[in-house]
Structures are given as structure tokens and as C-alpha cells.
């Protein structure tokens, strides 16, 4: 199944390939100040893949905070946070903002509050490699 997502103005797009049923995709509510401020609910499928594209890459903001090892992709035009991307061992992995998915209303899992405070770079990378979605393409960035 391919799930499509985009920012509000349509500059940033994603195509999320997953074999999971949309109703059972996990939803996580990170408790960091960034995710709370954006009302983000995250989802991922480590067996899936995601392609990300920008019509105008100059209008894509790559925001980093905390440990500084992750790019949070935000559209400069409309302000929507689309997903977060991290490079780990030469590969890119992403967690998607489920609220940017066109079929978000079909996602039924109860959001699980998550707190990653105190993780080291190594434990964060290990968790992300195990839980985040591999990125199969970054176009226009």
C-alpha cells in the first residue's frame, strides 16, 4: 500500500510504502517540545520505505535541535512539519508526521506517549534503525 502525504501548500511530498494495514500503523506522541508544539503524531514501518520530494528545495527547512543528529523537514512556505530524517551508518531513516498523511483519519491506533530524553547518540541510532522507515529517495533537497 502507498500512503501519500504533503505539506499544506504542496511543496513537500512523501510516498510511504507499507504492507501494514493503515488502521494498525503505530502512532507515537513524542513528548519533546518540538513535537508538542507541532501537534505531531509519528508513524513508521521498518519494513516499509519512504520517498520524499520537494518542488522547491530552497523552501524546505532542515531544522536540528537536541543532539543535532536529525533533520526535521519543515516547509518554509506553509510551516508544516512533514517528517524527520536521520543518516545512520550511511543510510537514511525517517519517521513521518502522521498528520500530514492524506488518509490520517483511517489510522486507529491510540497514540503512545514517548519520552526519549536521556538517550545517547548510540542508543538513539539503534532505536531508529530498528523502528524508523528506510528512505528510498530524497528528491529536490
Task: Quickly tell me which residue has 543532539 as its cell.
Answer: 67
1-32: pLDDT as tens digits: 999 999 999 999 999 999 999 999 999 999 99
Domain range enclosing 61: 2-139
Average pLDDT over residues 96-116: 97
Tell me the per-residue pLDDT of 36-88, one tens digit each, with 9 for 90 and over.
999 999 999 999 999 999 999 999 999 999 999 999 999 999 999 999 999 99
What pTM was estimated for this model as a whole? Answer: 0.95
Judged by average pLDDT, the poorest of 16-20, 77-81, 110-114, 137-141 is 137-141
> What grid cell was written down for 95?
519517521
Residues in the chain, how many? 141
Q: How many domains does the chain have?
A: 1
Q: Residue 61 has what pLDDT?
A: 97
Q: What is the DSSP string of 17-83?
A: E-SS-GGGS--EEE-SHHHHHHT--EE--TTSEEEEEESSGGGEEEE--TTS--EEEEETTT--EEE
pLDDT of amino acid 139: 93
The whole-angstrom separation of Cα 96 and Cα 98 is 6
| Strand (E) or helix (H) holding 14 | strand 12-17
The confidence score (pLDDT) of residue 141 equals 82
139 beta partners? 53
β partners of residue 30: 114
Q: In 10 A of CB 60, how many CB atoms? A: 22
**Contact in structure between 129 and 88 (CB atoms under 8 Å):** yes
CATH number, domain at 13?
Answer: 2.170.150.70
Amino acid at each position: 500500500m502507498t500512503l501519500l502525504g504533503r505539506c499544506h501548500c504542496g511543496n513537500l511530498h512523501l510516498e510511504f510504502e507499507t504492507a501494514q494495514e493503515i488502521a494498525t500503523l503505530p502512532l507515537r506522541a513524542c513528548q519533546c517540545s518540538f513535537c508538542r508544539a507541532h501537534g505531531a503524531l509519528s508513524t513508521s514501518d521498518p519494513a516499509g520505505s519512504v520517498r520524499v520530494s520537494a518542488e522547491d528545495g530552497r523552501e524546505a527547512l532542515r531544522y536540528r535541535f537536541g543532539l543535532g543528529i536529525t533533520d526535521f523537514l519543515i516547509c518554509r512556505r506553509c510551516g508544516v512539519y512533514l517528517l524527520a530524517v536521520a543518516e545512520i551508518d550511511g543510510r537514511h531513516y525517517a519517521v513521518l508526521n502522521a498528520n500530514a498523511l492524506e488518509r490520517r483519519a483511517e489510522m486507529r491506533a491510540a497514540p503512545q506517549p514517548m519520552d526519549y530524553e536521556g538517550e545517547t547518540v548510540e542508543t538513539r541510532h539503534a532505536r531508529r534503525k530498528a523502528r524508523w522507515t528506510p528512505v528510498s529517495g530524497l528528491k529536490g533537497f
